[in-house]
Amino acid sequence: MKVTTAKSAGFCFGVHRAVDVVYKEVENGGYVYTYGPIIHNEEVVEELKRKGVRVINSPEELKDAPKGTIILRSHGVTEAIYQKLASYGHEIKDATCPFVKKIHKVVREQSEQGRYIIIIGNRNHPEVEGIIGWVKNTDNGNRYSVIQEEEEAKSFSVPLDQKLCIVSQTTYNYKKFQDLVEIISKKGYDIFVLNTICNATQERQNEAYQIAKQSDAMIVIGGKASSNTRKLYEICKKECENTYYIQKLDDLDLNLFKSFRNVGITAGASTPNKIIKEVHTVMSEKSFQQLLDEEEVVKISAGDIVEGTVLAVKEDEIILNIGYKSEGIITKNEFTNSPNVDLTSVVKVGDKLQAKVLKVNDGEGQVALTYKRLAAEKGNKRLEEAFNNQEVLTAKVSAVLNGGLSVIIDEARVFIPASLVSDTYEKDLSKYNGKEISFVITEFNPRKRRIIGNRKQLIVAEKEKLKKELFDKLTVGATVEGTVKNITDFGAFIDLGGADGLLHISEMSWGRVENPKKLFKVGDTVKTFVKSIQGDKIALSMKFEDQNPWINAESKYAVGNIVTGVVARMTDFGAFVELEPGIDALLHVSQISKDHVDKPSDVLKIGQEITAKVVEFNKEEKKISLSIKAMEAPEKESEVAEEAKENVAEEASAQVTE
């Protein structure tokens, strides 16, 4: 049978820690006191009483009590109580949950800076009473409010120029917290809000749901009156029909479990670990001693690398069980170099993490750990290997800096100078932010903090490769598709994927092209053929032979045909008429009219459409002569033709003389 016990079952990390402190103190001997019951679990409190632990409810009770150790529970106490307890000469063991301690610190600092404190929570809850005690009030009165309900938020009012700081009781409902903050925000105050809600309960429920989904049977352990255990039972029962609610091992009917292969276990927040372990042991037939042996305490010192299991995660810190007498703590700064990371989205309770010890005692009794520095060391090793092997690395750009890009690989930072980002100069690098890019390491000097990446080298190499592939397959006459990359007055450069080809203006069409920019725009896809290759110069053409207008010109423009065209250009001896793109004909000045015409421009305009008769067609020389005069005097057609020929000859000799 496979038995899975929820890592978040039972006490949350804060309560667990506090109860542990009491048991350890009992073992050490001497008088042990707790300030209030250490946990809301009568069985545990009774057991501790039997072991001599005395619960006190006010500092005065300690005044004349025999000297011993007073343990503060996870809820924390006010600063005044703390000082009073200290004044009686007893040793104080502060088991305030670090998450609650953080609220104390924030409240004290913010109120010292003049902010008015709002605590969202239940005024009578010991945790809230403790938080209130860390607010720095002024002689003019209290500078805090506790708000629990919407009505209180709505009616809240202090002068508008008063800055506020809002925190929350750790076990408060997140949705409600958001709603109340929203109501207060709308009033127009300058507000500093810190979400101090602990997600331990939510995590316990999430994990129970996940395990129940995959189990044949589920055991939920907890007091019958415990509302959070009942909630767990309901969640599990929905996912797993065979869910059993027990208070202790004796309630378990083992016969019920004979046929199950996967059994899950979870427990409410007030269920001692001992009971959970007993149930786990019986179900998995593992001896209790074995389980205890697993809890071997390790010795650590600064610089050691330790492995631990995540006990709790907040947005900005992680608590790790590293098998040492105190927990390890990794702050957000020591977890990652990436800004804007919410730790709860990258780490969850039960995860295993390796970290390096920074300080065995961070001043608050915890072990200060760093995850990112260890990861960076590993990352540096990885980068060194990549540098030596010229391996191509791929990572997201974490920041765009003035002079280039910053990329993080396994918490090690690589800088890619702007000049090495691409093979062309890029003024604005912001488009790379958050994008995944590939590069090689071309300089590795972690001591000088110079780890330089080079993306340009890859781009250049890739282009060379593509160029070679292109030239290997390119032949004169082959049809190729490409993208218009650049347009000039004399032609367009076409990217063929590896090299550019030049499509000269005269090769863009069988007809006349005035301005390439009117025909194409950058990014257009064009189909061309290779006209010639000289070295790495590729000349392209779009004058495909099957579209040559002279192929069918003989019948269309036979002598005697009446044709229509547009005056394209003019000289003194005649006008050139475009009959269709690629075919121009000459209308000699003498053939424009029966009347004498001095210059063609006297009677014609560029762009004017004219109708004329073909009086000569010469396919070899691609010459066509037109005459309007011939249409006006059809009976003298043969003379006109003769005349036109002479005129063409004249024009030819005139052109030669010119």
Residues known to be catalytic: 127
Contacts of 104 (CB under 8 A, 6+ apart): 76, 79, 96, 130, 131, 134
Sequence length of the chain is 658
Half-sphere exposure of 364 (CA within 13 A, CB side): 13
User: For residues 71 and 208, what is the distance between their CA atoms, to the nearest angstrom?
Assistant: 32
**Among 313, 368, 371, which Cα is nearest to 346's?**
313
User: For residues 455 and 419, what is the distance between their CA atoms, to the nearest angstrom?
Assistant: 9
The minimum distance between CB 264 and ligand F3S, in angstroms, equals: 22
Residue 128 within binding range of ligand F3S, rule CB under 6 A: no
For 180, 541, 545, the CA distances from 477, given in Å and listed in that order, are 75, 9, 11
Q: Closer to ligand F3S at the Cβ: 314 or 372? A: 314
Partners of 330 in beta bridges:
318
Residue 576: count of CB within 10 angstroms of its CB: 19
SS3 227: helix
Query: Count residues contacting ligand F3S (CB under 6 A)?
Result: 13
**Among 555, 558, 551, 575, which Cα is nearest to 616's?**
558
- Using CA atoms in the order 196, 198, 199, 200, what is the torsion angle rounded to 10 degrees? 170
Work out which of 4, 5, 69, 170 binds ligand F3S, going by CB under 6 A. Answer: 170
Residue 200 within binding range of ligand F3S, rule CB under 6 A: yes
- Residue type at 34? T
Residue 272 within binding range of ligand F3S, rule CB under 6 A: no
Work out which of 70, 71, 97, 330 binds ligand F3S, going by CB under 6 A. Answer: 97
Is 446 within 8 Å of 439 (Cβ atoms)?
no
With contacts defined by CB under 6 A, name the span among 10-18, 203-211, 328-336, 477-485 that binds ligand F3S: 10-18
Percentage helix, strand, coil, to 5, in the chain? 35, 30, 35
Q: Closer to ligand F3S at the Cβ: 5 or 270? A: 270
Residue 169 within binding range of ligand F3S, rule CB under 6 A: no
Residue 22 within binding range of ligand F3S, rule CB under 6 A: no
Site residues for ligand F3S, window 309-368 (CB under 6 A)? Answer: 312
With contacts defined by CB under 6 A, name the span among 8-16, 288-296, 438-446, 469-477 that binds ligand F3S: 8-16
The minimum distance between CB 101 and ligand F3S, in angstroms, equals: 9
Q: Closer to ligand F3S at the Cβ: 200 or 503? A: 200
Q: Closer to ligand F3S at the Cβ: 8 or 243? A: 8
Sheet containing strand 91-94, edge to edge, reads 54-56, 31-35, 68-72, 91-94
User: For residues 122 and 108, what is the distance between their CA atoms, to the nearest angstrom?
Assistant: 19
Q: Closer to ligand F3S at the Cβ: 170 or 380? A: 170
The residue to which tokens 């007498």 are assigned: 325
- Minimal CB distance to ligand F3S: which residue? 14
The minimum distance between CB 63 and ligand F3S, in angstroms, equals: 28
Residue 177 within binding range of ligand F3S, rule CB under 6 A: no
- Residue type at 491? G
The minimum distance between CB 98 and ligand F3S, in angstroms, equals: 7
**Among 17, 5, 22, 7, which Cα is nearest to 365's?**
17
Work out which of 21, 45, 198, 409 binds ligand F3S, going by CB under 6 A. Answer: 198
The minimum distance between CB 416 and ligand F3S, in angstroms, equals: 42
Is 398 within 8 Å of 362 (Cβ atoms)?
no
String marking each residue 58-77 x if it binds ligand F3S according to CB under 6 A: ----------------x---
The minimum distance between CB 173 and ligand F3S, in angstroms, equals: 13
Work out which of 14, 59, 268, 498 binds ligand F3S, going by CB under 6 A. Answer: 14
The three-point CA angle 442-443-446 to 5° equals 145
The minimum distance between CB 343 and ligand F3S, in angstroms, equals: 15
Work out which of 3, 6, 9, 12 binds ligand F3S, going by CB under 6 A. Answer: 12
The minimum distance between CB 118 and ligand F3S, in angstroms, equals: 19
Residue 99 within binding range of ligand F3S, rule CB under 6 A: yes
Q: Closer to ligand F3S at the Cβ: 197 or 368? A: 197
User: For residues 370 and 375, what is the distance between their CA atoms, to the nearest angstrom?
Assistant: 9
4 membership: H or E segment, kind and range = strand 2-5
User: For residues 452 and 435, what is the distance between their CA atoms, to the nearest angstrom?
Assistant: 18
The minimum distance between CB 166 and ligand F3S, in angstroms, equals: 17
Q: Closer to ligand F3S at the Cβ: 202 or 287? A: 202
Binding site for ligand F3S (CB under 6 A): 12-15, 74, 97, 99-100, 170-171, 198, 200, 312
